[in-house]
Amino acid sequence: MCSSKNVNDERVSTHTIEFPYTRTLGPVYSAFLTGLRDAKVLGITSRDGKVLCPPTEWDPQTGESLDLDFIEVGPGGVVETWAWVTEPTRKHPLDHPFAFALVRLDGADTALLHAVDAGSIDAMRTGMRVTPRWKEERIGYITDLEAFVPEASA
Amino acid sequence: MSDPNQDVVDPDAPVVGMDYFMSLHFEERICPVVRRYADALLEGKLIGHRCPKCALVYAPPRGYCPIDVIETTDADEVQLADRGFVTNYTVVTPVAYYGQEATEPFAKVSVQLDEPGGSLSLQDVLEIGVDDVRVGMRVEAVWVPAAERNVDEIGNRSWGSAEGCILGWRPTGEPDVPAEQISDKVF
């Protein structure tokens, strides 16, 4: 796809190169994204009894395959660490300033990387409680969970 | 962008696949020599550069002759004919990859332009089927109506493109150019 425009008496052409492909999810990511579509966040139980969210196919300590032992976590959680995005690009999940954060959901032992829509950097702090804001129409994609928001404002 | 799971019919079925759309977006300023070519196309003219040393005509102009390794400038500009003959062609049988809009086989031809010369590659042929495309066939340009022309596809590396301004080339009905006159012009 291309287009052309005159800017300051110069001609500028724009191009977009797209390469789409479909990935088969496998039993673990399939369950995780099916859960998101149904407005639930699933973790998986590791060999030592910890709950991993996002779920993985293998035990991160031993590399062994994990049984498909899913457990619903959250919906609320705690921000473990975060980085504020001052000027989002068009590929970012939100079109206004937000935080990328590691969120450890209630009942989980690991943290999920996602966006926190806090409105202002002043509203962000490590240890704050957040809760999901779901999209109305969900399709089984990580962005079905639009963003986490501060629990106080939910 | 379309629904990444548009193939999922049952909204309650497990999500088993995920579409990725890798995408690269960029803008480029068109270099002066290509810009002049694009502006001429919008006016319904094809222009090229004739090398002052070897006299080869480059269409679109490049701003240099790669054979003699010398710069060519506006002083070397020549207006080109919008008639010529087919020197070579490829019939493309489309497969349904993402973004491919064609469904039926089509031909892309190289056109050697009449005096003062120059050639354009990857041109469309109009009015005849792919089985009737042949080397030596005389053709003329069918221009897009002036108000509808665009140069959206003309980039700095789009040598040979007149897309958006020339719809394609149609047979003139004149006798074919004999093959022995083309042997040094096939590419």
Each residue's pLDDT tens digit, B72-107: 999 999 999 999 999 999 999 999 887 788 999 999
Neighbouring-strand partners of residue B79: B47
- pLDDT over 70 at A35, yes or no: yes
Residue ranges, chain B, pLDDT below 70: 1-9, 158-160, 186-187
Considering only CA atoms, which of B82, B76, B108, B79 is closest in space to residue B94? B108
List residues of chain A with CB under 8 Å from any CB of chain B: 2-4, 10-25, 29-31, 33-34, 37, 139-141
Q: Which residues of chain B neighbour A23 with C-beta distances below 8 Å?
A: 17-20
Amino acid type, A146: E
pLDDT band at A69 (very low <50, low <70, confident <90, very high): very high
Residue A100 in contact with residue A85, Cβ under 8 Å? yes
pTM of this prediction? 0.66
Amino acid letter, residue B132: D
- Per CB-CB distance under 8 Å, the chain B contacts of A55 are none
3-state secondary structure A21-77: EEEECHHHHHHHHHHHHCCCEEEEECCCCCEECCCCCECCCCCCECCCCEEEECCCE
B157–A contact, CB cutoff 8 A: no
Indicate the residue of B15, B25, B150 with minimum beta-carbon distance to A30.
B15
ipTM of the complex: 0.74
